[in-house]
Amino acid sequence: MANALKGTNFEFAGQKSLYIGKVRDVYNINDDYLVMVVSDRISAFDVVLPKGIPYKGQVLNQIASKFLDATSDIVPNWKIESPDPNVTVGHMAVPFKVEMVIRGYLTGHAWREYRSGKRMLCGVPMPEGLNEHDRFPEPIITPTTKAEEGHDEDISREEIISSGLVSEEDYLLLEDYTRRLFQRGTEMAAEMGLILVDTKYEFGEKDGTIVLIDEIHTPDSSRYFYAGGYEERQAGGEPQKQLSKEFVRQWLISNGFQGKEGQVMPHMPDEFVQEVSDRYIELFERITGEKFVKADTTSIEQRILKNVNEFISK
């Protein structure tokens, strides 16, 4: 099995800090640039699983890089270059403390709230008479707070503005960008025989300009359905064919783990790790329409260090 990048601890020229997230290691270079290394770690239920997934970081980084380039005419973004298959280098921006979640379909968290009897999500009404995975008449924006620790919390437009998290002028711009990005993502997915179900965007501010930051339209931040047979499956009350990491969550659930107190993380056999790796590569090829080219994983850390140092020295 190929090597997996579990984590990094580089020291780059001008490095001021290192932030280690669930999946990404983010290096601050002179408070001006960020070097984002996308590892092969995988998380579910807010827990990082014990084994890395070979090529997962490359898949996520290259999908995000493609969609950042494909949407830069809608809103400027943080990306400067991707000097390594697992790395994007970009401008540092001050993040807004909200995540812009947009949903085209009644799925996931929205469906769980709906099923419990709620017809309002983040201050947005949801129509009566819908079934799981039904399409909303119009996509709805359901923002969340961006928690430093623990779970993000649902929040309404009114609460965001009244609490001063984001000014009204900026927030209306964020909503506009979110709808336009989702429309572009929907069109690109349709060309690949897919439905972009829901996704999230993160924005920041640099030199007074709003920019798109982090990842976009990856299977970790978005949910996709296969378009072929969608209507028939809905009519028959069957589950939709999903293109996301939902299958990892389902495997954990079937092995008695949902991240709750007292639950023990199940052993991940090599065959399952390989299956997850294969699924991520399939995700890449289905979403982008391109053949996935596996990077050399013999010495991933040395490869990344060399490529990033060459970029910084320029």
Q: Reduced to 3 states, what is the DSSP secondary structure of residue 58?
A: helix
pLDDT score recorded for residue 166: 97
Domain annotation covers residue 143: yes
pLDDT, one tens digit per residue, over 150-184 is 567 999 999 999 999 999 999 999 999 999 999 99
| Separation CA 56–CA 276 (nearest Å) | 9
Packed helices 270-288 and 246-254: angle between N→C axes, nearest 10 degrees: 160
Domain count, the chain: 1
CA end-to-end span of the chain: 35
| Separation CA 304–CA 296 (nearest Å) | 11
Domain annotation covers residue 290: no
Domain annotation covers residue 179: yes
Q: What is the mean pLDDT of residues 252-269?
A: 93
Mean of the per-residue pLDDT values for the chain? 95
Instruction: Measure Cα distances from 27 to 90, 116, 215 in Å.
Output: 11, 42, 16
pLDDT score recorded for residue 150: 59
| Residue 41 CB burial class (10 angstroms; 0-12, 13-18, ≥19) | buried
When comparing pLDDT for 61 and 2, which is higher?
Answer: 61
Percentage of the chain exceeding pLDDT 70: 98
pLDDT score recorded for residue 1: 80
- Residue 148's pLDDT band (cuts 50, 70, 90): low
> What are the start-end ranges of the H helices in the chain?
56-70, 109-115, 157-162, 168-191, 230-235, 246-254, 270-288, 300-313
Residue with tokens 């984590």: 7
Domain annotation covers residue 152: yes
pLDDT score recorded for residue 160: 97
Return the closest-CA partner of residue 202 out of 174, 232, 238.
174
Measure the CA angle with vertex 39, ends 224 and 27; round to 5°: 115
Q: Contact 76/213 with Cβ under 8 angstroms?
A: no
- Residue 125's pLDDT band (cuts 50, 70, 90): very high
Sheet holding 87-91, edge to edge: 15-20, 24-29, 33-38, 87-91, 79-84
Q: What is the mean pLDDT of residues 246-261?
A: 90
What pTM, to 2 d.p., does this model score?
0.93
- Residue 112's pLDDT band (cuts 50, 70, 90): very high
Q: What is the mean pLDDT of residues 48-77?
A: 97
The 10 Å Cβ neighbour count of residue 114 is: 21
Domain annotation covers residue 191: yes
- Domain span at residue 206 reads 95-243
Domain annotation covers residue 30: no
| Residue 20 CB burial class (10 angstroms; 0-12, 13-18, ≥19) | middle
pLDDT score recorded for residue 291: 98
Does pLDDT of 188 surpass 80?
Answer: yes
Domain annotation covers residue 250: no
Percentage of the chain exceeding pLDDT 90: 91
Residue with tokens 């540092």: 92
| Separation CA 28–CA 15 (nearest Å) | 6
Q: What is the CATH number of the domain that holds 218?
A: 3.30.470.20
- Residue 149's pLDDT band (cuts 50, 70, 90): low
Domain annotation covers residue 142: yes
- Residue 246's pLDDT band (cuts 50, 70, 90): confident
Q: Contact 249/45 with Cβ under 8 angstroms?
A: yes
pLDDT score recorded for residue 307: 97
